[in-house]
Amino acid sequence: MRTIAYDDVVSTTKRLCVEANTRLGDDVLAVIRAAASRESSPLGRQVLAEILENDELAACEGTPMCQDTGSAVVFVELGEGVQVSGGHLRDAIDEGVRQGYTEGYLRKSMVADPLRRKNTGDNTPAVVHVDLTPGDRLRLALLPKGGGAENMSRATMLTPADGERGVKAFVVETVERAGPNACPPVIVGVGIGGTFDTVGALAKKALLRRAGERHPDPYYAGLEEELLEQINALGVGPMGYGGTTTALEVRIEVAPCHIVSLPVAVNLQCHAARVARAEL
Amino acid sequence: MEPKRLTTPLSDADVESLHAGDLVTITGVIYGARDAAHKRLTEAMSRGETLPVDLQGQIVYYVGPTPARPGQAIGAAGPTTSTRMDPYTPALLARGLKGMIGKGYRSRAVLEALREYKAVYLAATGGAGALLAKRIKKADVMAYDDLGPEALYRFEVEEFPAMVVNDAFGGDLYAEGKEAFRKGMAALA
């Protein structure tokens, strides 16, 4: 059994918090640039140029690109042949988030209780998803998730008769209702299938995918393209001022489901689609 | 497009010169407040107390910045979603507030209050927190410092860029912009 020191998980998580919030991935920058070259609205082009300028400045200065540095969502792929020594994995991730958000001058946006709403002061706890995988590696992907787009996300339980048409209508309607509130252009994470509890996680997992990559199944890749076209026909545009770039991408993740069910979740991600990854 | 230059405080004439879709820059003092500070302000008004700031002609910016690093006036400081401030806004407009900067839709009650009290709703680019912070030259807590990042702030801004979304005449950039770029296909949903 391979071991990884607790402190290595802490320091890696800490680094990922700062990196994700200050440097937008080249994959995301490339799709924003491509959108800027296609946008029909002069105002929309101006907004996209401002976003690109902001992202360059943030990376250059080490300032967060957005003041909402998010909930720290961490996707873990834990190899079955590796374990953390000197402490628990969950504790190491929280400690890394605590140090990253405190020492990295990031905003602390977590409240300990949803109704009594006292800030925890250090952005913990992280939202942690763990997948067990073959091998002896530990992979971490940190996705700081801002509240504006998260608040406009939705889930529903459709019936099999609603089918593809029902799914498409729900996705497009979600983006339209979100309008300017989700900070478009957005990336649209769609989960289809699974159960009531897992479909939201599928939609979030879609946000981890690298920009520019389509679903490996040509059927779903086609559906992604078709949805993107319909969403960009809405006219919402960059920041909702009108335009042809309402979404940068649609990403679908699917899972098997019950014979009577068709769960669908749409997790909206603003243009600051921040993900930082590491392998230990 | 050449922006219109605004200096705070705003007069009725300033507000009446603005129309949905106008780019503006703002120079002067603006106030930063979000949910918790709005709640305090409206509670103080309902008790008939003096407010920590005279709202007449002023602009409020909906923002919850990241902590400033040493040497910075402020950390990243882009707009937050305005919708959350809707319940408190008409009362502040009735007190003389002339402008708000945020992002996202406003309620019908807020849009009606903009017309009634001659005020304007502006949007700054969401997610441009590093860039917008450059336009904030000085940031001080004005009141409610126990609220931390949710305190009432006083900002000195220079040429802070914003877009007129809702003017005092019922103009609405979100509705008009979308209509102009909508294609037939979208009606499907």
Pairing of strands B136-143, B120-123: unpaired
B186/A235 touch (CB, cutoff 8 Å), yes or no: yes
Percent of chain A at pLDDT exceeding 90: 99
Give tens-digit pLDDT for A193-228. Answer: 999 999 999 999 999 999 999 999 999 999 999 999
Task: Kindly state whether A103 is in contact with chain B, defined as any CB-CB distance less than 8 angstroms.
Answer: no
Report the DSSP beta bridge partners of residue A127. A73
The 3-state secondary structure of A88-117 reads CHHHHHHHHHHHHHHHCCCCCCCECCCCCC
Q: What local confidence, expressed as pLDDT, does residue B184 receive?
A: 67
Minimum distance, in Å, between the CA of residue B182 and any CA atom of chain A: 4
For the segment A61-69, the average pLDDT, to the nearest whole number, is: 97
Using pLDDT thresholds of 50, 70 and 90, give the confidence band for residue B147. confident
End-to-end, the C-alpha distance of chain A in Å comes to 14
What pLDDT does residue B148 have? 76
Question: Are B180 and A176 in contact (CB < 8 Å)?
Answer: no
The predicted pLDDT at position B57 comes to 98
Amino acid B30 reads: I
Burial class (CB in 10 A: 0-12, 13-18, 19+), A102: middle
The owner of tokens 């209702």 is A177
Is the pLDDT reported for residue B185 higher than 70?
no
pLDDT digits (tens, 9 = 90+) for A97-120: 999 999 999 999 999 999 998 899
Contact B93, B113 (CB under 8 A): yes
- Residue B22's Cα: distance from chain center in Å? 15
**CA–CA separation, B10 and A175 (whole Å):** 35
Report the C-alpha gap between A266 and A174 in whole angstroms: 7
pLDDT value of position B153: 95
- Tokens 């709403």 locate to A117
Q: How confident is the model at residue B187 (pLDDT cuts 50, 70, 90)?
A: very low
* Nearest residue of chain B to residue A22 (CA atoms): B130
**Res. B188: pLDDT tops 50:** no
Residue B146 CB neighbours (<10 A): 10
Cα–Cα dist A85/A88, whole Å: 8
For chain B, the average pLDDT equals 94
Q: Please tell me the distance in Å from A103's CA to the nearest CA on chain B.
A: 10
Mean pLDDT for the stretch of residues B10-38: 97
For residue range A144-165, what is the model confidence (pLDDT) as tens digits? 999 999 999 999 999 999 999 9
ipTM surpasses cut 0.85: yes
Closest CA–CA distance from residue B66 to any residue of chain A (Å): 5
pLDDT bucket at A254, cuts 50 / 70 / 90:
very high
Asked if A130 reaches chain B (Cβ–Cβ under 8 Å), the answer is no
Joined tokens for residue B113: 């209050």
Cβ–Cβ gap B80/A176 under 8 Å:
no
pTM of the predicted structure, to 2 decimals: 0.95
Would an 8 Å CB–CB cutoff place B186 in contact with chain A?
A: yes
Amino acid of residue B108 = R
Does residue A91 come out as left (phi exceeding 0), alpha (psi in the -120 to 50 range) or beta?
Answer: alpha
Q: 10 Å Cβ neighbour count for A204?
A: 23
Is the confidence at residue B149, as pLDDT, over 80? no
Checking if the pLDDT of B131 tops 60, the result is yes
Chain center to CA of A27: 14
Q: Which helix (H) or strand (E) holds A156?
A: strand A154-158
Percent of chain B at pLDDT above 70?
Answer: 97
Contacts of B174 in chain A (CB under 8 A): 179-180, 240-241
